[in-house]
Amino acid sequence: MDHFQYKNGELYAEDVALTKLAEEVGTPFYVYSRATLERHYNVFADAVKELDSTICFAVKANSNIAVIKTLADLGAGADVVSVGELKRALKAGVPANKVVFSGVGKSRSDLEYAVKAGIRQINVESEEELVVLSDVATKLGARMPIVLRVNPNVDAKTHEKISTGKSDNKFGIDWTRAVEVYQRASNMSGVDPKGLACHIGSQLVDLEPFRAAFRRMKEMVGELRSLGLDVTRVDLGGGLGIPYEEDETPLPVEYGKLVVEELGDLGVEFEFEPGRMIAGNAGLLVSEVLYVKQAPTKTFAVIDAAMNDLMRPSLYSAYHAIVPVFEPETDEKVTYDVVGPICETGDTFAKDRKLPKLASADLVAFRTAGAYGATMSNTYNSRALIPEVMVSGDQYAVVRKRVDIEELLDLESLADWQS
């Protein structure tokens, strides 16, 4: 459920008409609903309430500080994958002791920054990283809490580009080596192994891969304990899928039940790292139709948003529902390819999509654009970053302003031999 509904024939974000926002900030723009973010966080928190847990919002899904702050105010921590994200989380008011730092390629200076910031834990993804981290922390006089992110070799049955838990993916420490590495870690001066982590992929639409991964985690915890090693934390990552089409996806409450069923008696503190599940349905991308172009075999709706603003369709062939901002008066549908202005054929949001009849200057909204939307945007074709707006009831705020192309040009200069 979200708070983007039609009222009097036009689409609203909570109590604010999208047409009003379009007038205010221009198109294209992202809009987030605070009530929807809160609702999704609370649904997830409720689903795992039987467990002692910290919910660390995966900042890469939506890293706007106003979004992070909304969740932090409800008690959320943060899962970050770069120092940039760590800085955002701290700036948004997430306490350092609720931040976990994942990622396969943390540099020495990244690790130094995280140790100094006193975050909750670093999720170590290789033996090589472990050695560097222990050295970094020792030099800083610290013993850094860590968990080992293991790769459980489970097929998440999701898009290949967002599957992370197979042994041929770059993530985590192979599960067959995990016990040995944990033992090694427990003898290092700069790290304090607390437990294990896994994250097998994103947009999982079936619970069975989670079950398989959880069982493997449980086995490993048992093995570590039988060797006299302490395990007090288990981080189960994120990955819960959401409906982009009319499809059925597992409910958070079912996911929570599964965790309790498989791991409830483990006697550990849990961490969860949901991203998409919290932010996905809480955002729209709003765009204006520039032209409806009639080609020999197709009708193209050329809109002012492009693949640089929302990459998911071109990157993952992802589906986003596209709806008109003004509710159509008839059921008449026309088949369009919805495309952006970028000079790439891949700049296509939808092929052969049946939509209400569109005309130049109509506004359309992409649903479920709150996760992996703005965060993946870039400036290809010298298209500057678009604004992000947050709505709460009848209030709204521009939480990232539109970047001026001049601001981008100011970053560049001619070589001194060119002047």
Which residues are catalytic, by number? Answer: 343
Our finding on whether 217 is near ligand PLP (CB under 6 A) is: no
**Which is nearer to ligand PLP, 21 or 240 (by Cβ)?**
240
Distance from C-alpha of 182 to C-alpha of 180, rounded to nearest angstrom: 5
Our finding on whether 85 is near ligand PLP (CB under 6 A) is: no
Our finding on whether 67 is near ligand PLP (CB under 6 A) is: no
What the block records as the tokens of 81 is 């994958």
Distance from C-alpha of 84 to C-alpha of 89, rounded to nearest angstrom: 9
Our finding on whether 273 is near ligand PLP (CB under 6 A) is: yes
Our finding on whether 237 is near ligand PLP (CB under 6 A) is: yes
DSSP 8-state assignment for residue 367: S
- Specify whether the CB–CB gap between 351 and 12 falls below 8 A: no
Our finding on whether 82 is near ligand PLP (CB under 6 A) is: no
Shortest distance (Å) from residue 276 CB to ligand PLP: 4
- Specify whether the CB–CB gap between 294 and 319 falls below 8 A: no
Shortest distance (Å) from residue 321 CB to ligand PLP: 19
- The residue among 306, 317, 322, 308 whose CA lies nearest residue 358 is 322
- Specify whether the CB–CB gap between 366 and 284 falls below 8 A: yes
Distance from C-alpha of 411 to C-alpha of 394, rounded to nearest angstrom: 37
Largest CA distance in the chain: 72
Our finding on whether 102 is near ligand PLP (CB under 6 A) is: yes
- Specify whether the CB–CB gap between 162 and 176 falls below 8 A: no
**Which is nearer to ligand PLP, 198 or 231 (by Cβ)?**
198
Query: Residue with structure tokens 């596209």?
Result: 322
Our finding on whether 79 is near ligand PLP (CB under 6 A) is: yes
Query: In this chain, which stretch among 31-39, 43-51, 54-62, 66-74 interacts with ligand PLP, using CB under 6 A?
Result: 54-62
Our finding on whether 115 is near ligand PLP (CB under 6 A) is: no
Dihedral of the CA atoms 59, 60, 64, 68 (nearest 10)? -10
Our finding on whether 347 is near ligand PLP (CB under 6 A) is: no
Shortest distance (Å) from residue 210 CB to ligand PLP: 12
Query: In this chain, which stretch among 246-254, 272-280, 342-350, 360-368 interacts with ligand PLP, using CB under 6 A?
Result: 272-280
Q: Where are the alpha helices (DSSP H) in 93-207?
A: 108-117, 127-139, 178-186
Kindly give the interhelix angle for 83-91 and 65-72, rounded to the nearest 10 degrees: 60
Q: Where are the beta strands (DSSP E) in 76-156?
A: 77-80, 99-101, 121-124, 144-151
Our finding on whether 61 is near ligand PLP (CB under 6 A) is: yes
Shortest distance (Å) from residue 242 CB to ligand PLP: 9
DSSP 8-state assignment for residue 386: P
Query: Residue with structure tokens 């929570």?
Result: 256
Query: In this chain, which stretch among 218-226, 237-245, 312-320, 328-336 interacts with ligand PLP, using CB under 6 A?
Result: 237-245
Q: Which of residues 161-190 bind ligand PLP (CB under 6 A)?
A: none
Query: In this chain, which stretch among 86-94, 130-138, 198-206, 285-293 interacts with ligand PLP, using CB under 6 A?
Result: 198-206
Query: In this chain, which stretch among 104-112, 273-281, 397-405, 410-418 interacts with ligand PLP, using CB under 6 A?
Result: 273-281
- The residue among 403, 387, 30, 355 whose CA lies nearest residue 339 is 355
**Which is nearer to ligand PLP, 81 or 191 (by Cβ)?**
81
Shortest distance (Å) from residue 156 CB to ligand PLP: 10
Residues contacting ligand PLP: total by CB under 6 A:
19
**Which is nearer to ligand PLP, 102 or 121 (by Cβ)?**
102
- Specify whether the CB–CB gap between 337 and 353 falls below 8 A: yes
Our finding on whether 370 is near ligand PLP (CB under 6 A) is: no
**Which is nearer to ligand PLP, 237 or 356 (by Cβ)?**
237
What does the per-residue mask of binding to ligand PLP show for 11-50, with x meaning CB under 6 A? ----------------------------------------
Shortest distance (Å) from residue 316 CB to ligand PLP: 12
Query: In this chain, which stretch among 196-204, 243-251, 295-303, 403-411 interacts with ligand PLP, using CB under 6 A?
Result: 196-204
Shortest distance (Å) from residue 80 CB to ligand PLP: 9
Shortest distance (Å) from residue 272 CB to ligand PLP: 9
Distance from C-alpha of 163 to C-alpha of 180, rounded to nearest angstrom: 25
Query: Residue with structure tokens 């890469």?
Result: 60
Distance from C-alpha of 161 to C-alpha of 163, rounded to nearest angstrom: 6
Q: Point out which residues pair with 54 in neighbouring strands.
A: 271
List the strands of the sheet with 4-7, edge to edge.
Answer: 4-7, 10-13, 16-17
Q: Return residues touching ligand PLP (CB under 6 A).
A: 58, 60-61, 79, 81, 102, 199, 202-203, 237-240, 273-277, 371
